[in-house]
Structure 1
Amino acid sequence: MALPDRRLLLVHAHPDDETINNGATMAKYVSEGAHVTLVTCTLGEMGEILVPELEHLAADRDDALGEHRLTELTEAMRLLGVTDFRRLGGDGRFRDSGMKWGDDGNATAADDIHENAFWHADLLEATNELVAVIREVRPQVLVTYDDFGNYGHPDHVQAHRVAHYAVALAAARSYRHDLGDAWDVAKVYWTAMSARAMREGIKEIREAGDLQFMEGLDPDHLPPFAIDDDDLDAEIDGSPWVDAKLDAMRAHATQISVDGPFFALSNDVAFRAWGTEHYRLVKGVAAPVPGTSFEDDLFAGTGV
C-alpha cells in the first residue's frame, strides 16, 4: 500500500483519550495530507457512563460499554478525518483495566482487575502487536503518554511501556522478520499540557466570574500532566480545527458531558484551551522555529 510521505502514529489507552489530547493535531495533519494512524489499546469497557439511559451498558450490568464506545470512536474519527484507527491486537484483545483514585489524588490500579485487563497483559505479547503496526505504517512520528500515563491510570502507563518497547524492537533488523521489515521511528513525543497556559486559563475564567470552574484546582499545584514550558518541545496550533475537536469530544458522549466545563468556555478561551496542543520530545532531535524554543511541526527535522 502506497502511503503519503508524512506518517503519524498515536498510541492511546481508551476511546476519547485521543480526541482530548490530540484531536486538533490529528485533524490538522489529516487536512495537510499526512497519514494518521490511531492505535487504541482497549475499548474502554470500564469507563464511567455519563448518559443515564445507557447506564445498563456498565461492566457490572450488560458489560456492553466497549462495543458502544467503539461507535463513539468511529464517529469521532469521522469528524476528525481519521480513516486508519485500530485496536491493539483487534477489538477486545485487551480489556480496560479500570482504576481508582489514590490517596495522592492520582489514578492507580483498581482493587479488582479483569483477568484480560491491559494492565495484566504480557508486555512482549502486547508490544509485538504494535511492532507489526509500526513496520506496516512506517511512521516518522509516534505520540503516546509519559511514564506516569499523564495522571497514573494503569492503562495509560501500560500504553507508554508498550509504545516505547515497540519503537525499540521495530527498529531491530534481526527481530521477528515475520512482523515486517525493520523501521526506526525518527521522533517520539509525549502528550502534555502547558502549565503556564493552564494557570492563565484558570485565572481568566475565574476573573470572568466563573468561580466554580475547575473548583478545587490550585493554579500553584497543578496535576502532573501540566508541564512547565521549559520541558515542552512542540506547540501545535490547531485552532482552525477546534470546532472539529469539540464535535469529536461530543461524540464520546458516555465519557464527556456536553453540559460540562469542556463546552462552557467562551470562544476565545476555548480556542486557546483546545486549539493549542503541546508535546515533549523524548526521541529524535528537536527542530524549533528559529528564535523560539518550540517546534510548530511534529515532523520538523525528519526530512519529510
Structure 2
Amino acid sequence: MTPPRILCVQAHPDDETIWTGGTLARHCAAGGEADVVTTTWAAGQPRHRELVDALQALGLPREPIMLGYADGGVPTSSDLPPLVDVPFDDAVGALTRHVRDLRPDIILTTDAFGIYGHPDHIHTHRLCLAAAEAAAEPHLYLDAGAPWRVSSLYFVTVSESRSRQAWEQVMTTRVAGRPAEAEELMRFGTPDDRIDDVVDVRGVLDRKWRALQAHRTEFERSRTLRAIRALDDAAREALLGWECYLRRDLVGGGRALVD
C-alpha cells in the first residue's frame, strides 16, 4: 500500500520537531509524503527561516505553510492578530483550504490539552478538528477547493511513564536551581493505557536533534530547550526517542501512521 500522506499542523516553529519530528523524518525516509502547516508567525520572520532549515534536516521536500497569525506570546511575530483572537470560522476556513489542497490521509497535531496547556497549542488542536470535518463537507467553504476526507487524526501527547523522568529532569534544570513544585515539574502527560500508538524514532534521532537545533532563536530564548541540550545522551534519547499518539479515525479503518 502507498504510504499515507501526512499533514502536520502545529502552533509554533519548533513544535513540529519537538513533538513529531521523528515521525516526520522516519516517514519521509521511507518514501512518504509530508507537509507542515504552522498556525503562527509570518513568513520571512527569523523563526520562519529556521523552520525551513528544520524541515530540510527532517527530510521534508517542501517549505512550511504559515497561516501567519501572531504567536500569543510574541506580538511582533506577525501583523495579523494573535491566533486565539482570530474569528474561529476564518481560521478554520484558512486551514480547510490547505487540507483540501494537500489531500492528506493523516493529520498530526497536539492533544486536546495542547500537551502542556499552551493556549496556541489548544487552539490549533481545535482548528484541526474543525478543518478535518469541514474539508469533507461540500457545503462548507465553497471557495476553498474540492472536498477531501481525512482518514485519521493523530494527537501527539506525552506518555506518563515513558517520558516522566526525562521531563522532570528538564523541568528541574529550567527552574534555574530553585526548588520546583511537583505540579511545575509535570503538569501534563497521558496514562499509558490511553495511548494508541508509540513511534520509536531512535533511528532518526540524529535528524530530529539537528532539526531542533535549527531553531536557534528558541535556544537563545527558551530555558526548556537549553535544558534539553544540557541532558546527557541517554536522557535526551529517553525524552525525544519515542513519539506517542492518540488516534481518532474519521473513516472506517482509518490509516495507520506506521506500518
Which TM bucket (shorter chain)?
0.7 to 0.9
Q: CA deviation at 1:200?
A: 4.3
Q: Are the aligned partners of 2:108 and 2:155 in contact in 1 as well (CA < 8 Å)?
A: yes
Partner of 1:126: 91
Aligned ranges for residues 246-265 of structure 1 at < 5 Å?
246-256=209-219, 260-265=226-231
Match of residue 196 from structure 2: 233
Cα deviation code 1:194-228 (max 9, x no counterpart): 1101234468x6xxxx995466364997222x111
Q: Which residue in 1 is equivalent to 2:9?
A: 11
Equivalent residues in 2 for 1:1-304 (5 A)? 5-43=3-41, 67-89=45-67, 92=68, 94-98=69-73, 116-201=81-166, 213=173, 216=180, 218=182, 222-224=186-188, 226-256=189-219, 260-284=226-250, 298=257
1:133-159 Cα distance to aligned partner (Å, 9 max, x none): 111211111111222322222221221
TM-score, normalised via structure 2 length: 0.83
Please say which of residues 19-28 and 76-85 is displaced more in the overlay.
76-85
Give the letter aligned to residue 160 of structure 2.
Answer: A
Q: Distance in 1 between matches of 2:167 and 2:25?
A: 26
Q: Is the 8 A contact 1:6 1:299 kept in 2?
A: no
Q: 2:10 is matched by which residue type in structure 1?
A: H
C-alpha separation in 2, matches of 1:133 and 1:79? 23
Report the AA paired with residue 72 of structure 2.
S
TM-score by length of 1: 0.72
Please give the alpha-carbon distance, in whole angstroms, between the structure 1 residues aligned to 2:59 and 2:30: 11
Partner of 2:117, secondary structure, is coil
Aligned pairs, number: 248
When residues 5 and 221 of structure 1 are mapped into structure 2, their CA distance, relative to the original with a 3 A threshold, is closer
- State the SS of the aligned residue for 2:45: helix
Change (3 A) 1:42 1:77: same
| Displacement after TM superposition at 1:245 (Å) | 0.8
5+ residue gaps, structure 2, are: none
Give 5+ residue unaligned stretches, structure 1.
46-65, 100-109, 288-294
What is residue 291 of structure 1 aligned with on the other side?
none
Mapped partners of 1:22, 1:40: distance in 2: 13
**Which letter does structure 2 place at the counterpart of 1:34?**
G
Q: Which has the higher helix share?
A: 2
Deviation at 1:116, TM superposition (A): 1.3
Instruction: List structure 1 runs of 4+ shifted beyond 6 angstroms.
Output: none
2:30 partner letter: E
Seen in structure 2, the aligned counterparts of structure 1 residues 285 and 214 have a Cα distance that, compared at 3 Å, is farther
RMSD: 3.2
Alignment partner of 2:35: what SS? strand
